[in-house]
Structure formats: C-alpha cells, structure tokens
Structure 1
C-alpha cells in the first residue's frame, strides 16, 4: 500500500484539483447537464451518476453519462449544445469558501503549489480567465490539464499519472534552483471527487477530500474507503490500466501506484477549506496571533 502504515511526513507541496475544489464549477456542470436533459424530456442527473463523472477525463465521463442518459440525439449534437451552455455559464465560476485564504497561506508558508485538473484547455480558459486573483498562485509551468500530451491515453484519474506529472513540474523548477526535490509522500493532494482521491493515494501522496455535501451523502458509511482510495469505482478500461500499474509496482518498475489502507492517517476529510488545519500537515500556520 502507498503508506505502509508509516506516519506521513511534513508537507512541502500542495497539488490542487480545480472543479468543485477551487471553484463552484461542479454546480454549473449540473445546471448545464440538467438543462439539456430537460430539453429532451429526461430526468435530472442523480448524484449516483454524477459521482462517477467527477474527476474523470471528458471521454470516459461522456461514455458513462450517455449510457445512463439515453438521449434521443447524436453525441455530436449533445456536445455542440453543451458547449453553447458552458460558454454562457463557465465565466460565472467563483472561488469556493476558504480557497483564496488557503492558497495565500500555503504560499506564505513556503509550500510549492501546482494544479492538476481533468478539464481540457478550452474549458479551463472559460473557467479561469476571469479569476486572475485565484489562478495567479499557479505558475504556467505548474498547471497540468486533462488534455496534457504528457499524460498517456487512458491514464487520467483514478490513475496516479496526473499528480505525479504535477509534482515533476515542481521538481524541475527546484532542480533549476539547486534545491532539494520533493518526494510524493511530501505532497498534499486537494480533491473533491472520489476518483481524484484515489488518484492522489495511488501517487503515494497525502490527500485532503473536500466533497460536495451531496457527494458526501452518496458515500455515507464509505468515507474511510474513499480516503484510502479503496472504493473501486473505476471502470473496465481503467481497471486494466490500474492492474498494469500494480504489476509494475510489484516488479519494482514503479515506486508508487497502489492505493492506501483504511485509517492509515494519509487521508483527511474536510467539509470546507475554511479554517484549514495547517499544523496537522506539518505546515507552519501563516496566521500570526
């Protein structure tokens, strides 16, 4: 397992998901989707399905959605209509509670910061261009998007690749400065999705899970499994990818790739980023009394 039941070390890097974690775009996604479903006399998107879409790259999420929705229109038409609604809604995205304070606090405390989102470049621009006061904390070379060519096909979340890539961008900068590199266990992943938590745990990193209240209801009683990355919510193609990763770990070809263990202390559930507990992660609290 990723933690081997050892106490987690102090944090040197924070790696952030975006949708539903930094900004309120998950609720806007729901509004967009339900608008289209209503247009074609289909019921609203339930959280049991939405939970499977969160964190996944667009193509994989699309397969799950269309298998459930059974819309009477071609996928291309759906995507075109969806894009028009997103162009209207996404520029309305706003930071979620506590986000700006945490980003400032981490920066003041000397923690390195990177972004790791499944959103592709076009949607990222729609969601972020009007929020320079938020995304200024993420330098361009430390932003990893869902359509980044460096992420192999099929290796989106819940595979660990996107978070390992985000860490590699930070270490490239540190090497250029002659500073010590950061190891995966010194990273704290911030996620709202179940698959994203698994991705972070499989990357050998510590994880903070900040779920939407409705998602938390959906996983009531399974919180500990989520924090360990053990929910098994991946689909068949993802299952094959993860088994391949686990085989490479067993053969010594990879150092990370396995999920964690229940109650191993490497996963933390927070209802919000407000009042973030810096000390829990070995980070000096930037707020002076």
Structure 2
C-alpha cells in the first residue's frame, strides 16, 4: 500500500480515542433488557458510526421495541450519565494527539456523537480536548446532514480549518466500517483501528489497518515523527 503525504488530521472519538464502545454496549443492553430484548454484537456492528437518532431507529426497528426514538434516547442518556464519566482514553491516544498538536499539525474531532454526549464523556478529559482546533459533533451539527457512511461529517469538519485543505490532504482515524466508508467517500486516506471482531474483508477500503494507535508511524504520511 502506498501512502500519500497529508497536512491535516481528523479523528473519530468513540472506540478510537475513547474506550467508550464497551460502555455504549452496556447502555444499549440495559435499555433493551427493560423490554425483554437482547442487544447483540451482530446488531451493534451494523450501527457503528451512525448518528444517535439513526442508532435509536435501527435498534427499535431491529428489536421491535415498543417505544419511540425520543424515549429510547432519553433512557440511554440516563444510563450514560452514570457510566460515561468513568471512560478512559485508548492506548496511544494521548501520545499521538499531543504529538501532532505540539508539531503544529492541524487536528480536529469528527464524531457522530451529540454535544451532550461528548460533554458527559469528556468531562474528565478537558485538557485533551484543548489539542483539537475544533470539534464537529454530527448528531448536534446542522451542517452534518447525514451520518457515516455518508462523507458529510469529514467534509464539514475539514472545511472548518483555516486555509481549508483539499480532502486528499486530510488523514482520517477511525475504528468502524461506516467511518472507513465515509472517509473514502470524502476522498480522504483513512487509518482504522478496528474492533477485533470486525472481519478483515470489511476493512479492505482502509489505507492502513492497525491493532493500536500506539503502532502508528506519522512519517508514513509525511507527518513529523516522534522525537
């Protein structure tokens, strides 16, 4: 695989920088169990990367839950407020983000989560958020008209840098298949650090597949290397 130099970097949040996917699974499982339903990995794998409303609709439809989207999301939010303040950063996340920031590489967050969700998850990681030029939160952002695998969130986020870069000058970091598809649709290179349960054949569009952010070599994409 050949890699092309980039100037700007966009990061997903959940499951990539933040070890939150296990907590989302716990939240969805708790709410679904109230209605006698089982939230499975098979269902979860289909909703990774979607915006909050889309996830709610897909879960309600798949499991035939007798509640509205609004009720489901409200019940999830109540569980999230208990679980999410404990969430930790993923291995290598702080080192990579801090490194790029200190080397002057423009970086931004491009997450499908809502502002309310990000506020809860990141309340104990405020210093980490300061490294990003801006945060694009798809569920709350009126300019992000569709969730991943639509490219909207990455194109919108890239447009908010000063001296807007071309899509091909942006590198995306993702953990989900829908995120990889969105980055490719935006004409951006994408490094994926997937859940090990995701079949490799679903990640063939990715520019680079890693087991951990700790394995990333910035020089591959023309970025400043670690000292």
CA RMSD of aligned residues (A): 1.8
Task: Give, in whole Å, the separation in 1 of the partners of 2:93 and 2:3.
Answer: 23
Structure 1, unpaired ranges of 5+:
175-180, 228-266
The question of whether the paired residues in 2 share the 8 Å contact of 1:57 and 1:118 is answered with: yes
**Alignment of structure 1 residues 138-217 onto 2, 5 Å:** 138-139=132-133, 142-146=134-138, 147-152=140-145, 155-170=146-161, 173-174=162-163, 181-214=164-197, 216=198
Task: Give, in whole Å, the separation in 2 of the partners of 1:220 and 1:196.
Answer: 15
Aligned residues: 226
**Corresponding residue of 1:100:** 94
**Cα shift at 1:127:** 0.9
Task: Give, in whole Å, the separation in 2 of the partners of 1:9 and 1:197.
Answer: 17
The secondary structure found in structure 2 opposite 1:274 is helix
**Cα shift at 1:80:** 2.8
Task: Give, in whole Å, the separation in 2 of the partners of 1:206 and 1:71.
Answer: 38
**Cα shift at 1:8:** 4.4
From 114, 126, 133, the equivalent of 1:132 is 126
* TM-score normalized by the length of structure 1: 0.73
**Cα shift at 1:73:** 4.1
**Cα shift at 1:91:** 1.3
**Cα shift at 1:194:** 0.7
Task: Give, in whole Å, the separation in 2 of the partners of 1:102 and 1:95.
Answer: 12
Structure 1's consecutive aligned runs of 4 or more residues displaced over 6 angstroms after TM superposition are none
Residues 104 and 76 of structure 1: CA distance in aligned 2, closer, same or farther (over 3 Å): closer
Task: Give, in whole Å, the separation in 1 of the partners of 2:69 and 2:168.
Answer: 41
Based on CA coordinates, which of the two structures has the bigger radius of gyration? 1
1:120-156: CA deviation from partner (whole Å, max 9, x where unpaired): 11111111122013211113xx21111211223xx22
Q: Does 1:278 align with 2:218?
A: yes
